[in-house]
Amino acid sequence: MTTLVIILNKIVTFLINILKIILHKDGSVWPGYIASKCDPDILNKLVYPKFVIGVTGSSGKGSTTKLIAKILTKNGYKVVWNKNGSNITNALTTLILNHTNPFTKKVKCDVLLLELDESSFYKVFNKNQMTHLIVTNLTRDQVARNGEPILVYNRVKDSLSDNIHLILNADDPLVLRYTIDTNNTYTKYGIQRYETDYTKPYNDTLDSAYCPRCNKKLKYHFYHYGNIGSFYCKECEFGTNPLDYKGKDINLTNRFMTINDHIVKLDHGAFFTAYATLAAYTTCNLIGISDEDIMKVLNNDYKDSNSENMFRVGRRKIEMIDSKPENALSYEQTIDYINEQKGTKTVVIGFDNVSRRYALNDLSWMYDIDFNKLNKKDIDKIYCIGRFRYDIAVCLKYNNIPDNKVVIVDDYKRVLPNKVYNHSKGNIYVVVFLDMMAPVKKALSEVRR
């Protein structure tokens, strides 16, 4: 039966890939759905490789997974990973079965590397099959689906077996809580002080402010963003330090950082890239890749991770930035990245869908974002596009952005290029959700000037 289900998964994937141009689907979900209906326990009947690595968290898991896959592949490992970003159960089932020998039941790779949805990865396979789990952060994200971060924390905790090696972002108090609530071996990574850090909370939306061991309020040496930073409890030993892997001396302009006294390049100029790089470095080093071999990949095979979404029209540089809704901290980091760029800037911002998973259009997360950061002299104009353009404009007004800076564009495919190129100045930064990337890029790149 297992052999037949594996073969069926491969056949359905093949057929859907033939039809994907017509269906506009990548074929990642339906094969796994059908296979699971035939045998709900199919993934627990396979023989897995030595390393089964999961990457989960509210944000950063996709970037982290991509970097780990790159380092491992360049060092000779055969890696199976969900490079298309599909991280829910049926998509993962499709992926795993398509790389499984139907007769031996072996998953054909050295490393199975999976970006995992933090609220549902417990459904994928038996908890004993994973060897390593990276937790990037646990913050308010998709609240309509996930609820509060502590609920996500508990879902992950309940999915762990004691043999899984946890790789934890120790700058997040909720993530670090796994060190006291579980019996797992763990490795802590974190980033030391950066030039834009602050010593008091920037806003009132901290996700975790109290010690999980003694319930006293945590003290911070500094904050990177939100509640992410270097913290400690005055009453007990709970806190960021000591770290097993330290990131420091970050230079986002020249794109490098130091990890445990080794200089490595960053593939993008946003602060969250430093966390993804540090997590990938930590993981690969733990499974046996030397510092030198990791640095060869990061430093010699360097390529801007967002290069395919950067282009020029005339003298103006355009950068497309995929920033998913429903995560205020992640969205605000995109704003921070834009602010760190030099020169006059124009910002295009919007989304047509709050979520691709459900129809609820919860916009409460937008009011946790400090859009006032865009109220700078070097921000010339802010164009609001997409189905929720008026909601974005209201949020900007609520954050004291002057009316003469905000432009609402009803038809972004036809009207946006003319407005942007003829009525604004500077480089253009487009902050949109994934489904708008292609049409907005096409509209801005094909304009005739």
259 backbone dihedrals φ, ψ, rounded to 5°? -120, 115
Asked whether residue 229 carries a pLDDT value surpassing 90, the answer given is yes
**Within this chain, do residues 105 and 186 fall inside the same structural domain, yes or no?**
yes
**Within this chain, do residues 181 and 292 fall inside the same structural domain, yes or no?**
yes
**Within this chain, do residues 144 and 185 fall inside the same structural domain, yes or no?**
yes
115 falls in which pLDDT band (50, 70, 90)?
very high
Output the domain CATH number for residue 78.
3.40.1190.10
Tokens read off for 122: 């417990």
Mean pLDDT of 292-303: 89
Domain of 356 in residue numbering reads as: 307-445
**Within this chain, do residues 253 and 324 fall inside the same structural domain, yes or no?**
no
Q: Is residue 399 part of a domain?
A: yes
Cβ atoms within 10 Å, residue 322: 16
What distance in Å separates the CA atoms of residue 449 and residue 447, rounded to the nearest whole number? 6
Mean pLDDT of 273-282: 97
Q: CA-based angle 216:146:219, to the nearest 5?
A: 20
Q: Is residue 24 part of a domain?
A: no
Residue-wise pLDDT tens digits, 163-218: 999 999 999 999 999 999 999 999 999 999 999 998 887 766 677 889 999 999 99
Instruction: Identify the top-confidence range among 17-26, 145-154, 197-206.
Output: 145-154
To which residue do tokens 């540089």 refer?
A: 317
**Within this chain, do residues 255 and 321 fall inside the same structural domain, yes or no?**
no
Cβ atoms within 10 Å, residue 78: 12
DSSP codes joined into one string, 326-370: S-HHHHHHHHHHHHHS-S-EEEEEE-S-S-SS------GGGGGS-
Q: Is residue 33 part of a domain?
A: no
What distance in Å separates the CA atoms of residue 389 and residue 216, rounded to the nearest whole number? 42
Mean pLDDT of 105-120: 94
Residue-wise pLDDT tens digits, 420-441: 999 999 999 999 987 889 999 9
What distance in Å separates the CA atoms of residue 231 and residue 171, rounded to the nearest whole number? 7
Asked whether residue 25 carries a pLDDT value surpassing 80, the answer given is no
Q: Is residue 18 part of a domain?
A: no
The pLDDT value recorded for residue 447 is 67
What lies within 8 Å, CB to CB, of 106 at 6+ separation is: 46, 47, 100
The pLDDT value recorded for residue 14 is 78
3-state SS class at 119: coil
Give the number of domains in the chain.
2
**Within this chain, do residues 425 and 352 fall inside the same structural domain, yes or no?**
yes
* Ramachandran sector of residue 94 (left: φ over 0; alpha: ψ -120 to 50; beta: rest): alpha
283 falls in which pLDDT band (50, 70, 90)?
very high
Using alpha carbons, list the distances in angstroms from residue 97 to 14, 66, 85, 302: 13, 21, 17, 32
Output the domain CATH number for residue 404.
3.90.190.20
29 falls in which pLDDT band (50, 70, 90)?
confident
**Within this chain, do residues 164 and 268 fall inside the same structural domain, yes or no?**
yes
**Within this chain, do residues 175 and 190 fall inside the same structural domain, yes or no?**
yes
**Within this chain, do residues 135 and 223 fall inside the same structural domain, yes or no?**
yes
Boundary of a domain, candidates 300, 327, 347: 300
The pLDDT value recorded for residue 205 is 61
The pLDDT value recorded for residue 200 is 84
Q: Is residue 295 part of a domain?
A: yes
**Within this chain, do residues 277 and 389 fall inside the same structural domain, yes or no?**
no
Boundary of a domain, candidates 242, 272, 300: 300
Boundary of a domain, candidates 261, 278, 300: 300
What distance in Å separates the CA atoms of residue 111 and residue 68, rounded to the nearest whole number? 10
Mean pLDDT of 26-32: 77
Q: Is residue 109 part of a domain?
A: yes
Q: Which residue has the higher pLDDT, 315 or 246?
A: 246
Residue-wise pLDDT tens digits, 364-384: 999 989 999 999 999 999 999
Asked whether residue 318 carries a pLDDT value surpassing 90, the answer given is yes
134 falls in which pLDDT band (50, 70, 90)?
very high
Mean pLDDT of 56-76: 96
What lies within 8 Å, CB to CB, of 269 at 6+ separation is: 252, 253, 255, 337, 340, 341
What distance in Å separates the CA atoms of residue 238 and residue 10, rounded to the nearest whole number? 48
Q: Is residue 105 part of a domain?
A: yes
**Within this chain, do residues 132 and 245 fall inside the same structural domain, yes or no?**
yes
Q: What percent of the chain has pLDDT over 70?
A: 95
Asked whether residue 24 carries a pLDDT value surpassing 70, the answer given is no
**Within this chain, do residues 271 and 397 fall inside the same structural domain, yes or no?**
no
27 falls in which pLDDT band (50, 70, 90)?
low
Q: Is residue 364 part of a domain?
A: yes
Model pTM? 0.92
The pLDDT value recorded for residue 31 is 87
Average pLDDT over the chain, rounded to an integer = 91
Asked whether residue 308 carries a pLDDT value surpassing 90, the answer given is no
